[in-house]
Structure 1
Amino acid sequence: MDPHLLRTFVAVLEHRSFSTAASVLGYTQSAVSQHIAALEADLGARLVERRPVAPTGAGVRLMEHAPALLLRLDAARADIARLRRAPDARLTLACSPAAFGPELARALAGLRAAGPVEIDLHVLGREAVVEAVLTSRADLGLVDGVAAPSDPLPLPDLGPTVTLAVTEEPLAVLFPHAHPLARRRSVRLPDLAQAQWIDAPDAAVPLARLREVSHTAGFHPRIRHHGTDPHALAALAAAGHGLTALPLSLATTFPGTTAVPVHAPRLVHRTELLHPTDPTPHTTGLASILTGAG
């Protein structure tokens, strides 16, 4: 399967347009059409309906594989390129919003105290953090999520990378002050499945993950938050637009809201660090500080 054809296929379905995909990829529209036709011939199945542009059943199935396949190809290219790169005085760090906290700020201060270093910090969604590390756009990534105590996060196949636990802390639900459950000492997630929620997959625990870990249907979004700003998310929660789940240490910092810990199921909010198997000296230094090894 030609990866160039696969990239064209993904672009066509992401944009639902042959002409837009051509513009994004720098091809002519006829070239895009030829790519799709060649991929369909290779796989022996029609993948894309032309009018309107939409995936066929086979196209839907291929889209389940395509992004991960392309990411692994990009990761392999980046892994080889790292072998030729000379270490420099810059550290590029990618971090999901709930993974950034006082510990990281202190660790960065400790790294700077050890020697001169220029730090580029990018706050991204979880998937974007993983992709940035795998493709060498970031030297080190911090991602957060929900898991059973001591269990690793359900991250995708990361190839030649190192993943280390950084922190585990209680998970909390953020309620507006006036909510009747805001006075509880703790809550059960399954009891909240039919409440109204804010779905903020890049700034809080995704609702799909809450359904998975609570083994309960529901968790319907009243509003969808697209972005990485937890303060905007908390403002929505304070105004009564819905509930959201965050690490307890972060959830207690927002005015107008009350953070109530989750006691069932037994879960923790976990932050993990990931970096290539051949990290730069600054990456090794920061990882050692964050994991207590330094």
Structure 2
Amino acid sequence: MDPHQLRTYVTVARLASFSEAARELGYTQSAVSQHIAALEQDLGAPLLTRRPVAPTAAGERLLEHAGPLLLRLDAARADVVRMAAAPQQGLTLATTPTALGAGVLAVLPPAGVILRVLTRAQIPAAVATGAADLGLVDGLAAPSDPLRLPDVAPLTTLGIAEEPVSVLLPAGHPLATRPGLRLDDLADARWLDAPDAALPLDQLRAATGGGAFRPALRYEGTDLRTLTALASAGHGLTLLPRATATAVPGTVAVPLTAPRVVHRTELVHGGSLGGAAAEVVRKVVGRKVVGRV
């Protein structure tokens, strides 16, 4: 299977247009049509209907494979280029909004740093493809257990911090005076579904072996101030690292007492490091910051 043809197919399927795909890829429309025809001949199955342009059943199945395949190719290219290239003086760090309190900020270079706030799903891919030198990912986990990250490429992960978590409630909420809360008691509460800002609801469900955790409002963003404003206004509860949840105006942060889970942060990098990225990893390892946040 030709990766160029596969990339063309993914682009046509995403844009639902041969002409738009040609413009995005810098090909002629005829070349795009030839790529699709050659791929369909290679696989022995039609992949797209033409009017309208949409994946067939076989095309949908190919799309399930295409993303990981193309990402692996991009990751392999980036890894080889990193090995051959001279070490860069600058550093690009990709992070979630709730991972920044993990002690890495103290060891960043004084200049030449680009900080990108991305979603949890985007960070491993950004590191694998060279869009970021290092990544900070976080989530709920049992103490000392590693996070479950997508298998996008061979990446090295280093656990760098664990801290307790708190439930963020409006100041007038009936549970705001409790000394601690159990997730089982909150499964039927109104929750904010903010997968890229708070700790995701699917991780709450996994921590309790199920539970409804019904979202009252979905927030598709990464800004913590917006998230906490929604919680303060009574639109739903949210779960945050203890340090992040503390001292938010109009809210109360109540510690989560059961199940025994922590907010875990891991540093992610590719196989070969040099320059500023290697120095940051060396300092992080030397600080041994797990459990100290």
Q: Same fold (TM over 0.5)?
A: yes
Deviation at 1:77, TM superposition (A): 0.4
Deviation at 1:161, TM superposition (A): 2.7
Deviation at 1:270, TM superposition (A): 0.6
| Cα 1:256–1:136 shift into 2, 3 Å | same
Match of 1:172 in 2: 166
Q: Secondary structure at the match of 2:195?
A: coil
Match of 2:186 in 1: 192
- Residues 1-294 of structure 1 correspond to what in structure 2 (within 5 A)? 1-101=1-101, 103-108=103-108, 111-112=109-110, 117-293=111-287
Indicate conservation of the 8 Å contact 2:89/2:112, yes or no.
yes
Task: Write the distance in 1 (CA, Å) between the matches of 2:285 and 2:279.
Answer: 10
| Cα 1:36–1:229 shift into 2, 3 Å | same
Deviation at 1:268, TM superposition (A): 1.3
Q: Which structure has more helix as a fraction of its residues?
A: 1
Task: Write the distance in 1 (CA, Å) between the matches of 2:54 and 2:123.
Answer: 29
Task: Write the distance in 1 (CA, Å) between the matches of 2:15 and 2:214.
Answer: 27
Task: Write the distance in 1 (CA, Å) between the matches of 2:3 and 2:219.
Answer: 33
Deviates more, 1:158-167 or 1:270-279: 158-167
Q: Which runs of 5+ in 2 are unaligned?
A: 289-293
- TM-score of the aligned structures, taking structure 2 as reference length: 0.87
| Cα 1:126–1:40 shift into 2, 3 Å | same
Indicate conservation of the 8 Å contact 2:137/2:265, yes or no.
yes
Count, aligned residues: 288
Q: Which amino acid aligns with 2:58?
A: A
Task: Write the distance in 2 (CA, Å) between the matches of 1:251 and 1:127.
Answer: 23
Deviation at 1:219, TM superposition (A): 2.5
Indicate conservation of the 8 Å contact 2:159/2:267, yes or no.
yes
Task: Write the distance in 2 (CA, Å) between the matches of 1:246 and 1:232.
Answer: 14
Q: Which amino acid aligns with 2:88?
A: D
| Cα 1:277–1:24 shift into 2, 3 Å | same
Task: Write the distance in 2 (CA, Å) between the matches of 1:183 and 1:200.
Answer: 24
RMSD after superposition: 2.4
Task: Write the distance in 2 (CA, Å) between the matches of 1:195 and 1:41.
Answer: 53
Task: Write the distance in 2 (CA, Å) between the matches of 1:209 and 1:58.
Answer: 32
Q: Which amino acid aligns with 2:97?
A: P
Deviates more, 1:129-138 or 1:35-44: 35-44
Deviates more, 1:257-266 or 1:28-37: 28-37
Deviates more, 1:168-177 or 1:99-108: 99-108
Task: Write the distance in 2 (CA, Å) between the matches of 1:245 and 1:41.
Answer: 51
Q: Secondary structure at the match of 2:61?
A: helix
Task: Write the distance in 1 (CA, Å) between the matches of 2:79 and 2:230.
Answer: 41
